Amino acid sequence: MPLPPVEETSLPEGSGLPDYSLKEIRAFNATVQHGNFTRAAEALQVSQPAITAQIHKLESRFEYPLLERFSRGVRLTEFGQQLYKITCQFQDLDSALDLLCHPDREPGGMTLRIANASSLIFMPVLAGFSREYPSTRLKINSATTTECIQQLLAREADIGLFPLREPNPALSRLTFASHRLIALLKSDHPLAALPELSITDIVREPLIFYKPGACTQQVIDTLLDIHQIQGRSNIIVDSRLDVTEAVRHNLGIGFALARDIRPEPEIVMRPIMEATEDVDEHIVWLKHRSTLPGLRTFIQYALEVKCREL
């Protein structure tokens, strides 16, 4: 039997449809976000039986189950996923109401979910924010640029730290830093003696690429397309750590954005002559969430850090 579509609609007064409570929705959202009833109860500062009761009450309103139960946690059913796309917006409502009632409250005791693709650039900002607001919990998830965008749009992350190269009408962005594509070579590689490299020389060597969805790989592909060069690689890696290890073991020439890699004795970083485009690193968030507490405070803090660096 196909599942019924779940639409985001308001219920007319007197419709006779279930009157969902915020307690049920909070319990459901917390269980989804924390993965089990125990952690959801801790997050909401209630007992586990209270969470379970609210979930049962919410599930009783539907023909289909919302959660699959396992020994170590829960997972959304297909219908539960449809419902969560709607109920996760109630978290914004909660936060907005709290801000309205307590406009001067600092973002203590809350969790900011960070989707991060650029650790070396943004980790100092995260560390400074944590020192400034020690009671705010930062939940940092490392991901590719594409995954960061998906997490923001699905409200699985509050803030994204990554290069948003193409504007998205649903997202706001603040440019925080810029850098360019560079080549990574083992220090004893013949091309390492050159002060800069041409992409035509690089592609004659074995290459190390990133998985699709990584911003760096998108920059590489664009550069090759512009110059009508075929670039092939037998080595595909997941992370910058993997690419530096692959270079260190003579598997080929790797690539990175300049500020994403720490200097290492065995690896040299060389500019690429044709790579003249700056890649901007952004702080990104959903536009209609701009005024939410915590998020607004983080953006303001990042702006202050950026201004101090000017």
| pLDDT for 16 | 43
Contact 175, 152 (CB under 8 A): no
Tell me which amino acid residue 120 is.
Answer: L
| pLDDT for 139 | 92
Q: What is the pLDDT of residues 151-206, one digit of tens each?
A: 999 888 999 999 999 889 999 999 999 999 999 999 999 999 999 999 999 999 99
| pLDDT for 10 | 40
Q: What is the pLDDT of residues 139-151, one digit of tens each?
A: 999 999 999 999 9
Q: What is the pLDDT of residues 235-278, one digit of tens each?
A: 999 888 999 999 999 999 999 999 999 999 999 999 999 999 99
- Predicted confidence (pLDDT) at residue 70 exceeds the cutoff of 80: yes
Location of structure tokens 């914004």: 92
> Residue 81: pLDDT band by 50, 70, 90 thresholds?
confident
Backbone angles phi, psi at 193, to 5 degrees: -75, -15
- Domains parsed from the chain with CATH numbers: 22-99 (1.10.10.10), 111-176+280-309 (3.40.190.10), 177-279 (3.40.190.10)
